[in-house]
Structure 1
Amino acid sequence: MTLSEELLMAYDQQLRTDAETPSAIAVERLGPLRLVSFAGGRGFVTYQDLDGASARTIAHWVVEALAFYRSDPAIVRVEWKTRGHDHAPGLHKALLDNGFEPDETESVMIGPASALNVDVQLPPGISLRRVTEERDIRAMSAMQDEVFGTDVSEGNADAILRRVALDDGMELWVAEHERAIVSAGRLEPVPDTEFAGIWGGATREEWRGRGIYRALTAARARAALTLGKTLIHSDSTEYSRPILERYGLHRVSTTTPYRWRR
């Protein structure tokens, strides 16, 4: 078994469980599917595998899962998270037939936290810190919305603040220039596993390519090691994937979210 195969096995066994959705407010089961509900009207479908199901069975599950969310008027959007290494005959067609739209495919990256723990020289005037106050968290969320090309949403900020209130170990990190946030990301230690996740990495376009994201990643890796986590995982865009690969993370699979909106 290669290292990438070992890391993928650890990913499937340790992360594709309830550990994947620590802030869920409800979880229902449909065959192997976990139908998760989050605060803010968001549904999320995930699973460890599809138990060798046929295309006909999978199509039935898609219809049933969507009916479950449609029956709850509080749910306004649903994400169905797929992985490139899963055996899932007919899933793409079934999702499209039921109104889901595929989003950008990202790389599932895994590697040792120690490999990311390096010294990075920051541009003049840039500083890093962990944020915990509501004002800072709202500013961070707004910056991420802008970078990801979506409307600035108070709802997104509210969801982060609700998660912070759970005090479940999540850490929020930012890079600032003259007190303005120019890059941000979060660290999510996964209880009872070797893993911590790095998520939400966003850097303003005019500040890219100057080592800021790299430094922010190193800061989160050091925090993960302090918490006893030895592996880092991330779903990475093509902006961040090459950076993580250069420092020892492996592309073990891909993930494509399919999205439905009421």
Structure 2
Amino acid sequence: MADIAAFLAAYDAQMRLPSGPVPSGMAYEHDGPVLRIVGGHVGRIRAPRDIGVTGVALDTLIRRQRDYFEARGEGVEWKVRAHDLPAELPQRLVAAGFVPQQPSTVLIGVAREVAADPALPAGVALRQVREPEDLRRIADLQTAVFGVDCSWVAGDLGARVAADPGHISILVAEADDRVVCAAIAVFDPGIDFAALLGGATLPAWRGRGLYRAMIAARAREAVTRGYPLLHVDASPASAPILQRCGFHRITTSTHYDWTPPD
């Protein structure tokens, strides 16, 4: 029986703020209880479970982050989990002009229980990549899958690789020299979790086990590297697959996005 409370406590203690190398060209700036991540595709705000301020003080903190990125001509996302405090944070963000996006399911898996040899369809090969052309191909894949411009992904992955090639694993599944699936694992130091990110599969290749193969391969690498737990912020399409692979739902997360006016 999984100890969901223990998983959630470990998540809150270890996964709230980034602990790995700062990606090339980016900066981490603390402002009171929150961390601003600056220099990426958009600004990002990360915070502990309990921000520790309410009411007018919370409004002031929120507006300060919004105004900071507005002065840079950039948007910003604020990540909120369902059990975060204060409970008024979501409504205060909305009042400041932030727009909630579709919630993700936060899932935790035990790496040794998920790890396996990846089972790939005939004619598909799996390999790790880090060259700029391969990162561009991953960005093109995500653009095709998600229906929005993901060209920034190539630069984001490149910045992570430049900061520390050993802390990120980037996998592609290829068929006839075409990337048909891609996925990422991040191995930040000093924590128990390997973070699984960026899974995307071309529609014509879904239902053939590619996503499950990517999960198995990344879990196997986590075990090899000594990371006992796996973390995913999963879309509604991915969450059921992950749960069938042995992951456990602990909460939800929602990005509240603010976009500067035209």
Q: Is residue 141 from structure 1 mapped to residue 139 from structure 2 by the alignment? A: yes
8 Å Cα contact 2:51/2:86 also seen in 1: no
The amino acid that maps onto 1:72 is R
Deviation at 1:94, TM superposition (A): 2.1
The aligned residue for residue 162 of structure 2 is 165
The aligned residue for residue 14 of structure 1 is 14
Could you tell me which runs of 5 or more consecutive residues in structure 1 were left unpaired when the two chains were aligned: none
Greater shift in the superposed pair: 76-85 or 21-30: 21-30
Greater shift in the superposed pair: 111-120 or 180-189: 111-120
Deviations 1:66-92, CA, capped at 9 Å, x for gaps: 12222334xx12110000111223322
Quote the Cα distance in structure 2 between the aligned partners of 1:59 and 1:78.
16
Secondary structure of 2:181's partner? strand
TM-score normalized by structure 1? 0.91
The amino acid that maps onto 1:65 is Q
The aligned residue for residue 224 of structure 2 is 226
How many matched pairs?
258
8 Å Cα contact 1:55/1:91 also seen in 2: no
The aligned residue for residue 83 of structure 1 is 81
Deviation at 1:26, TM superposition (A): 2.2
Question: Which aligned runs of 4 or more in structure 1 are off by greater than 6 angstroms?
Answer: none
Could you tell me which runs of 5 or more consecutive residues in structure 2 were left unpaired when the two chains were aligned: none
Secondary structure of 1:127's partner? strand
Quote the Cα distance in structure 2 between the aligned partners of 1:112 and 1:20.
21
8 Å Cα contact 1:23/1:38 also seen in 2: no
8 Å Cα contact 2:21/2:163 also seen in 1: no
Quote the Cα distance in structure 1 between the aligned partners of 2:161 and 2:118.
28
Secondary structure of 1:19's partner? coil
Deviation at 1:258, TM superposition (A): 1.0
Q: Is residue 35 from structure 1 mapped to residue 36 from structure 2 by the alignment? A: yes
8 Å Cα contact 2:172/2:179 also seen in 1: yes
The aligned residue for residue 50 of structure 1 is 50
Deviation at 1:127, TM superposition (A): 1.5
The aligned residue for residue 255 of structure 1 is 253
Q: Is residue 194 from structure 1 mapped to residue 192 from structure 2 by the alignment? A: yes
Quote the Cα distance in structure 2 between the aligned partners of 1:21 and 1:148.
28
Quote the Cα distance in structure 1 between the aligned partners of 2:130 and 2:71.
36
Quote the Cα distance in structure 1 between the aligned partners of 2:96 and 2:19.
28
Q: Is residue 64 from structure 1 mapped to residue 64 from structure 2 by the alignment? A: yes
Q: Over the residues paired in the alignment, what is the CA RMSD in angstroms?
A: 2.0
8 Å Cα contact 1:49/1:86 also seen in 2: yes
Secondary structure of 1:18's partner? coil
Once the two structures are superposed, the pairs formed by residues 56-135 of structure 1 within 5 Å of their partners are: 56-73=56-73, 76-135=74-133
Quote the Cα distance in structure 2 between the aligned partners of 1:51 and 1:215.
38
Quote the Cα distance in structure 2 between the aligned partners of 1:132 and 1:240.
25
Percent identity at matched positions? 36
Quote the Cα distance in structure 2 between the aligned partners of 1:11 and 1:157.
28
Secondary structure of 2:19's partner? helix
Measured at CA, do residues 95 and 59 of structure 1 come closer, stay the same or move farther in structure 2, by a change above 3 Å?
same
Deviation at 1:32, TM superposition (A): 1.2
Quote the Cα distance in structure 2 between the aligned partners of 1:188 and 1:106.
18
Secondary structure of 2:179's partner? strand
Measured at CA, do residues 206 and 55 of structure 1 come closer, stay the same or move farther in structure 2, by a change above 3 Å?
farther
Secondary structure of 1:49's partner? coil
The amino acid that maps onto 1:46 is R
Quote the Cα distance in structure 2 between the aligned partners of 1:51 and 1:216.
35
Measured at CA, do residues 170 and 120 of structure 1 come closer, stay the same or move farther in structure 2, by a change above 3 Å?
closer
Deviation at 1:183, TM superposition (A): 0.6
Measured at CA, do residues 180 and 165 of structure 1 come closer, stay the same or move farther in structure 2, by a change above 3 Å?
same
Deviation at 1:22, TM superposition (A): 4.1
